Amino acid sequence: MDLTLRPMSTSQVLDRTFSLYRQNFLLFAGITALPPGLILIGQLLLLLVTRPIPGGPMESGDPMRVGATIGAAALGGLLLFALALAGYAFAAGATVYAVSRVHLGHATSIAECYRLIKPHFWSILGIVILVGLCVFALIFAGAMFLIVPFALGVAGGGRPNVSAGMAVGLLVGFLVLAVALIFAIYLSAKLSLSVPACVLENLGVVDSMKRSWRLAQGTVLRLILVTILAGVIAWVLSMVLSIPYFIGVAMMVTRKNPSLMLPFVAWQYVASFLARSLAGPIGTIAGALIYYDQRVRKEAFDLQLMMQAIGSPPPPQAAAASSPGAVG
What is the tens place of the pLDDT at every residue in 160-185? 555 666 777 788 888 999 999 999 99
Give exposure, 178-194, as e/b (b: 16+ Cβ within 10 Å). Answer: eebeeebbbbbbbbbbb
Distance CA 269, CA 41 (A): 9
Residue 103 banded pLDDT, cuts 50, 70, 90: confident
In sequence order, the 6+-apart residues with CB closer than 8 A to the CB of 190 are 212, 213, 216, 220, 223
Provide the residue type at 274 as one letter: L
Q: Is the pLDDT of residue 310 over 70?
A: no
With CA atoms as reference, report the closest residue to 302 among 287, 285, 321: 321
Residue 289 banded pLDDT, cuts 50, 70, 90: very high
Q: Are 312 and 63 in contact (CB under 8 A)?
A: no
- Residue 16: predicted pLDDT: 92
Summarize pLDDT for 249-275 with one digit per residue, the tens: 888 888 877 777 788 888 988 998 999
Sign of the alpha-carbon torsion through 8, 210, 176, 287: positive
In the chain, pLDDT over 70 holds for what percent of residues? 79
Query: How crowded is the C-beta side of 229, counted as CA atoms within 13 Å?
Result: 20
Q: Is the pLDDT of residue 317 over 50?
A: no
SS3 54: coil
Q: Are 193 and 287 in contact (CB under 8 A)?
A: yes
Helix axes 160-190, 121-155, angle to 10 degrees: 170
Sign of the alpha-carbon torsion through 297, 306, 292, 198: negative
pLDDT: which is higher, 231 or 305: 231
Question: What is the rounded average pLDDT of the residues 113-119?
Answer: 92
Q: For 191-311, where are the alpha helices, taking DSSP H only?
A: 194-201, 205-215, 220-241, 243-255, 261-299, 301-309
- Residue 1: predicted pLDDT: 44
Question: What is the rounded average pLDDT of the residues 241-252?
Answer: 88
Q: Distances in Å between the alpha carbon of 247 and those of 40, 128, 235, 271?
A: 21, 36, 18, 14
Q: Are 103 and 288 in contact (CB under 8 A)?
A: yes
Summarize pLDDT for 50-92 with one digit per residue, the tens: 665 555 555 555 577 667 667 777 787 788 788 888 888 999 9
Q: Is the pLDDT of residue 20 over 90?
A: yes
- Residue 288: predicted pLDDT: 93
Q: How far apart are the first and last CA of the chain?
A: 14
Distance CA 17, CA 94 (A): 16
| Mean pLDDT score across all residues of the chain | 82
